[in-house]
């Protein structure tokens, strides 16, 4: 299983990658850790430490070469091939993910959605919605490893168990219930209500200046 500490490192690397793309679009060829740290919201020493874990080195005088950093980060996040993902739960949130265009920029392809409600199934949509009963065979035949879960709380654990048994290795969970990782499957849970409650607390308390690490 991936430890929380390592998850935070990977999360920061993703933010570095996005920031590096922006710097490259502005015409930068090299960058110092200080500038990247300020853009992402961490310390420069944290940037250097994170990069060193993956043998990404720079020069004190010239900084880091952006093209080399992006090449290594793209290899790390497997951006050399399309990542196929399924959605389980074809309600409003699941449908929104199905039509989100930003996935294509990151070489993520939503290949199918699944739902237990027959009225939602449709083979004619850009992302076909299939019966939940077909999910197991589809995952195995297509070699799917990633899933987005947007089902109601009452069925989340059962559907998650089906995903794990079918061979899914990573789940992004939007159901309002925590799901435990297994030896073969990593779970990241995003609870909108929890995030809003946390935001409301800090707003009401007048606490500002939170950095990216405080938000992990």
Q: What is the mean pLDDT of residues 65-74?
A: 92
94-139 tens-digit pLDDT: 999 999 988 887 789 999 999 999 999 998 888 999 999 999 999 9
Look at the pTM and tell me if it is higher than 0.95: no
148-181 tens-digit pLDDT: 999 999 999 999 999 999 999 999 999 988 899 9
Q: How far apart are CA 68 and CA 158, in angstroms?
A: 44
Strand partners, 87: 113, 148
pLDDT band at residue 78 under the 50/70/90 scheme: confident
Q: How far apart are CA 7 and CA 9, in angstroms?
A: 5
Q: Are strands 30-31 and 108-115 parallel, antiparallel or unpaired?
A: unpaired
End-to-end CA distance of the chain: 18
Q: Contact at 8 Å (CB) between 92 and 74?
A: no
| Protein fold of 4-75 | Arc Repressor Mutant, subunit A (1.10.10)
Which of 11, 13, 54 minimizes the C-alpha distance to 36? 13
Architecture of the domain made up of 83-193: 3-Layer(aba) Sandwich (3.40)
Domain coordinates in residue numbering, the chain: 4-75, 83-193
pLDDT, position 62: 87
pLDDT, position 79: 67
Is the pLDDT at 81 greater than 80, yes or no?
A: no
């Amino acid at each position: 299983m991936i430890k929380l500490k390592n998850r935070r490192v990977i999360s920061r690397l993703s933010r570095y990658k996005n920031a590096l793309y922006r710097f490259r679009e502005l015409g930068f060829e090299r960058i110092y850790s200080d500038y990247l740290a300020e853009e992402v919201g961490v310390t420069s020493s944290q940037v250097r430490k994170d990069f060193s874990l993956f043998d990404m080195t720079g020069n004190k005088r010239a900084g880091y070469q952006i093209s080399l950093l992006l090449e290594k980060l793209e290899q790390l996040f497997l951006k050399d091939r399309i990542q196929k993902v399924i959605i389980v739960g074809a309600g409003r949130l699941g449908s929104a993910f199905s039509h989100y265009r930003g996935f294509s920029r990151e070489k993520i392809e939503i290949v199918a959605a699944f739902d237990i409600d027959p009225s939602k199934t449709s083979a004619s949509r850009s992302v076909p919605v299939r019966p939940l009963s077909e999910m197991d065979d589809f995952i195995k035949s297509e070699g799917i490893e990633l899933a987005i879960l947007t089902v109601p709380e009452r069925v989340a654990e059962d559907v998650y168990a089906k995903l794990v048994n079918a061979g899914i290795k990573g789940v992004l969970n939007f159901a309002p219930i925590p799901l435990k990782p297994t030896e073969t499957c990593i779970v990241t849970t995003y609870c909108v209500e929890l995030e809003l409650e946390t935001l409301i607390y800090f707003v009401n308390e007048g606490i500002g200046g939170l950095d990216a690490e405080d938000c992990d």
